Amino acid sequence: MKREDFVRLVEEALDSLPREFRKRMSNIAVLVEDLPPEPLPSGNLLLGLFHGVPMTRKSVFDLPTGPDYVTLYQKNIEAVCSTQEEIREQIRMTVIHEVGHYFGMDEEQLKDVR
């Protein structure tokens, strides 16, 4: 899939988040890269990753830093999907998962989020 088509699907996924969540998202970027810098030790494919400090751990006393960001790994997402519709759904699920980390949710809390 062309990068611009993949990015369009990421934008759709972000736009589909509930408005109350979108309004609370600030100083966060969403990036797309081909692959993560290193594979996971488990051998599983990393589809996305949140880099930053979750909202639940931020303080007004923290020194300013650059934006938090979510990275989606296009080639890994494409590798686990067979169709464009599966890619669209996997992007949506990955965006929701990583934005959940931004809001302070852990893996256990996110396991049933769809």
Residues contacting 22, CB < 8 A, separation 6+:
14, 15
CATH of the domain at 63: 3.30.2010.20
| Overall domain count for the chain | 1
For the entire predicted model, the pTM comes to 0.86
| pLDDT tens, position by position, 43-56 | 899 999 999 877 76
Within 10 A of 98 (CB to CB), how many other CB atoms are there? Answer: 21
pLDDT at 9 over 70: yes
Within the chain, what is the greatest distance between any pair of CA atoms? 47
Estimate to the nearest angstrom the gap between the alpha carbon of 11 and the chain centroid. 11
Domain membership of residue 20 as a residue range: 3-110
